[in-house]
């Protein structure tokens, strides 16, 4: 059964599914960073936790640790078949065939086949794009979200904020996309954008990510899980 992202979903990011019990108090789901795990498919086979999983196998060319190639996408496609996996994350650039690094030795249909398999198994699809160098202008951010939404159930955009203007632009785009009826997940990385992880849900962002262990962040500027859960609850209830 796919994860319903109709409302905000707090996701605990980890490469160790053994952390799932510690996440239950605060999280609605667990993002399993397959690219950071030693034997991700074996870990999935042994998973017996309560929280649904978001399967992510992030390639090195988009900030992850998995080498590009057909094996990465084959692993992701196999992950979709696990009953505990309620959502899968696929990169927008892979779906568009825009990554020359990924394209080497990869059938252009491989990324699409992951999405197709997700549809067949009623697994939600998150289509993501990350900018670790800076923040595009508002028009570009809006275009990226729109393009990602054409492929997936949730369009995810993570940018790197160099100052308050970048964070404000991201929040503005988040609100505009939400007002247009789109399901988006947004966040600005690094210290200048850190607060957006707590504030973006107020503007319509559907997914928040935080590590269970605050010493093991999976992206720059993350709050730990307990802190983010408290911040989001205070802002949304206030």
Contact assessment for residue 65 and residue 36, using Cβ atoms and an 8 Å cutoff: yes
Domains with residue ranges and CATH for the chain: 9-237 (3.20.20.70)
The predicted structure's pLDDT at residue 238: 53
- pLDDT tens per residue, range 108-117: 568 899 999 9
The predicted structure's pLDDT at residue 104: 55
Contact assessment for residue 18 and residue 46, using Cβ atoms and an 8 Å cutoff: no
Nearest to 69 by CA among 24, 13, 107: 107
- pLDDT tens per residue, range 124-180: 999 999 999 999 999 999 999 999 999 999 999 999 999 999 999 999 999 999 999
What is the rounded distance in angstroms from the CA atom of residue 167 to the CA atom of residue 177? 16
Q: CA-CA-CA-CA torsion for 90, 96, 97, 102, nearest 10 degrees?
A: -20
Q: What is the pTM of this model?
A: 0.94
Backbone phi, then psi, for 82, in 5-degree steps?
A: -75, 135
Contact assessment for residue 70 and residue 107, using Cβ atoms and an 8 Å cutoff: yes
The predicted structure's pLDDT at residue 212: 85
Examine the pLDDT at 75 and tell me if it is beyond 80: yes
Active site residues: 130, 156
Q: Which run of H or E residues covers position 211? A: strand 207-211
Examine the pLDDT at 59 and tell me if it is beyond 80: yes
Nearest to 11 by CA among 86, 120, 123: 86
Contact assessment for residue 79 and residue 85, using Cβ atoms and an 8 Å cutoff: yes
């Amino acid at each position: 059964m796919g994860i319903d992202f109709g409302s905000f979903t707090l996701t605990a990011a980890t490469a160790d599914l053994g952390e799932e019990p510690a996440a239950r108090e605060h999280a609605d789901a667990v993002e399993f960073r397959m690219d950071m795990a030693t034997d991700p498919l074996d870990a999935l086979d042994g998973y017996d936790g309560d929280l649904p999983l978001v399967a992510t196998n992030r390639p090195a060319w988009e900030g992850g640790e998995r080498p590009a190639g057909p094996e990465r996408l084959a692993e992701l496609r196999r992950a979709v078949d696990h009953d505990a996996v309620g959502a899968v994350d696929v990169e927008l650039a892979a779906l568009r065939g825009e990554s020359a690094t990924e394209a080497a030795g990869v059938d252009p249909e491989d990324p699409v086949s992951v999405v197709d398999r997700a549809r067949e198994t009623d697994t939600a699809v998150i289509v993501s794009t990350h900018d670790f160098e800076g923040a595009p202008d508002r028009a570009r951010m809006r275009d990226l979200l729109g393009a990602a939404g054409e492929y997936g159930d949730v369009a995810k955009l993570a940018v790197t904020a160099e100052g308050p203007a970048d964070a404000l632009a991201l929040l503005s785009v988040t609100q505009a996309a939400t007002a247009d009826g789109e399901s988006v997940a947004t966040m600005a990385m690094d210290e200048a954008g850190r607060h957006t992880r707590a504030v973006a849900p107020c503007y319509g962002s559907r997914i928040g990510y935080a590590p269970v262990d605050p010493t093991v962040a999976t992206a720059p500027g993350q709050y730990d899980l307990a802190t983010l859960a408290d911040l989001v609850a205070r802002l949304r209830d206030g």
